[in-house]
Chains A and B, each alone.
Chain A
Amino acid sequence: MHPLVHLLVALIAILTFIALNGLILVYVERKVAGFIQRRPGPFEVGPHGLLQPLADALKLVGKQLVMPRDADRILFWAAPLLSFAPVAICLLPIPFGPHLLGLNVNLGLLLVLAFSGLNVLALCLAGWGSNNKYALLGAARAVAQSVAYEIPLLLSVLCVAFTCGSLNFVDITVSQTKHGLLSWNVFSQPLAFLIFFVSALAETNRAPFDLPEAESELTAGFHTEYSGMGFGLFFLAEYSYMIVVSAVASVLFLGGWSGPFFSGHWWMLGKIYALILIMMWFRWTYPRVRFDQLLNICWKWLIPLSLINLLGTALIINLVR
């Protein structure tokens, strides 16, 4: 197959997956919230409320797009697009199975990290372009948070890159298949995994680090002024980034597609959704942290710890070789 055709097919498949995943995650999130609060969650539309996300999506699509009078027209509409567009590229190099990946590149990890960083810019533009104080406050928080948490995220990812000696997702996965379950990086790098997961929560603006949209303080933060699909794209992007970080976490630390009994994309999907369920569990358990607490966790704990972890890893690798 021509590489371009392969890429096109992969992109279409990824976009379909993202859309389907958005529908599923909205439903699952609301059901998890419901069950944790001991109520049924969505129940009326379709059997057990299964068609609820579809109804929500139709509602969002059907809504009028409204822009505040003094908003910056270009930035305001560029922001949701910029938030959503990089998601497809982030999912391209991730191997869902031994042969199920869009793009096998040597710097796959770098590609994901680079393009997922664009999301901050989108939130910043949304906050600035809305000409709304709540949106601007949300954007300011988003920037401070993302810049801070990208450092421990990168440092913990580096640990894995050091041990595997590659930035290619396929190589990293294959390097974890040697001794079965025990060769998963989560066992050799538990601290890096924890730091990665916490930073990923902060990077995706998930609770308890959902300060940029903090609905109790900032109305809806950076997307206060967005209606209809403008909001819908931000929403979809958030859920897609959850998939991206969970997929990266499962490839880097949990052995990707490899697993006992049968290896393949089912293991990968299972790991991704297990991580997402844990993220949802967190969301409905923990209250939102204060802003100074958020930055203290990062600068006082995660960055020093990840630095120590990185240095230790480098030292051990040097000694072993």
Chain B
Amino acid sequence: MTTIQKTLKGLWSLIVGLKVTGKEFCRPWITVHYPRQEVTNLDSYRGHIDLVPLPADPRTPLCIVCRRCEEVCPSGCIRIEGHVPGEEKGGPVRQLLLISNVPLPHSAAREPICAADKTLRVLDGFSLNYNLCSLCGLCVQSCPVSSLRFSEDVYLAGASRKDFEFDLLKRLKHRGRFAKIKKAA
């Protein structure tokens, strides 16, 4: 008796299964139809890092050349060049100098590693080797002025390693120029 009951139950489960797939068959697609549609929920997407510009000037980065990100990066994929105005370009820049009067974002609120230094510096280059990056986000977390963010470039693709060695400063200036043209228009 139990065998027959079990079999009948099994047969019923087959019908239930058909009902499930039949219902799904009639409902609309849930996939994004890529070339015609694009995803919209990019806020949480972690692309490669990008420089954040000053609110007033889209071509100048917020970066203060403290080089924390370069130091904290476990993959060593960030290289920063900068100079103190008035000094020679390309000269040695002391590492891990923190400007104490800039409020730290919550995530980076920790003991300053060395003494405060209010020397103004200018960013000359911010190169990122994205081939090595593990997208851990430590650089974004540790930036004292929130000058780094994740880009939302989902469709990033390239044919060689060279395509993933970015100069973020150049990219920022490039973007800034377009933003300015847009504004003017």
Are A and B interaction partners?
yes
- B9 close to A (CB within 8 Å): no
| Interface size of A in residues (CB-CB distance below 8 Å) | 14
With CB as the reference atom, state the residue of chain B lying closest to A283. B21
- A318 close to B (CB within 8 Å): no
- B5 close to A (CB within 8 Å): no
Q: A286-B14, A286-B17, A301-B7 are in contact. Are A39 and B24 (CB under 8 A)?
A: no
A-B contact pairs, 19 of them (CB 8 A): A35-B25, A36-B21, A36-B25, A37-B24, A38-B24, A38-B30, A38-B31, A39-B29, A39-B30, A40-B29, A40-B33, A43-B33, A281-B18, A281-B21, A281-B22, A281-B25, A285-B17, A286-B17, A301-B7
Question: How far, in Å, is B25 (CB) from chain A's closest CB?
Answer: 5
Q: Within the assembled complex, what's the spacing in Å between the Cα atoms of A294 and B51?
A: 61
**Which chain B residues in 5-30 approach chain A with CB under 8 Å?**
7, 14, 17-18, 20-22, 24-25, 27-30
- A32 close to B (CB within 8 Å): yes
Which residues does chain A contribute within 8 Å of B28, judged by CB atoms? 38
Q: A43-B33, A301-B7 are in contact. Are A36 and B14 (CB under 8 A)?
A: no
Q: Within the assembled complex, what's the spacing in Å between the Cα atoms of A281 and B27?
A: 15
With CB as the reference atom, state the residue of chain B lying closest to A35. B25
**How many A-B contacts if CB must be within 8 Å?**
33
Is chain B's interface secondary structure helix, strand, loop, or mixed overall? helix
Interface string of A270-288 (1 = CB under 8 A from B): 0000000000011011100
Is chain A's interface secondary structure helix, strand, loop, or mixed overall? loop
Given pairs A39-B31, A43-B33, A281-B18, 15 additional interface contacts (CB within 8 A): A36-B24, A38-B24, A38-B27, A38-B29, A39-B30, A40-B33, A281-B21, A281-B22, A281-B25, A282-B18, A285-B17, A285-B18, A285-B20, A285-B21, A286-B14
Interface residues on B, range: 10 to 19
Interface set of B (CB-CB < 8 Å, partner A): 7, 14, 17-18, 20-22, 24-25, 27-31, 33
Interface string of A21-46 (1 = CB under 8 A from B): 00000000000100111111001000
Question: How far, in Å, is A236 (CB) from chain B's closest CB?
Answer: 26
Question: How far, in Å, is A47 (CB) from chain B's closest CB?
Answer: 13
Which residues does chain A contribute within 8 Å of B20, judged by CB atoms? 285
- By Cβ-Cβ distance, the 9 closest A-B pairs, closest first, are A39-B31, A285-B21, A38-B30, A35-B25, A36-B21, A285-B17, A36-B25, A38-B29, A40-B29
Q: Within the assembled complex, what's the spacing in Å between the Cα atoms of A38 and B32?
A: 11
Q: Within the assembled complex, what's the spacing in Å between the Cα atoms of A129 and B162?
A: 49
Partner of B31, one of A32, A36, A40: A40
Q: Within the assembled complex, what's the spacing in Å between the Cα atoms of A40 and B34?
A: 11
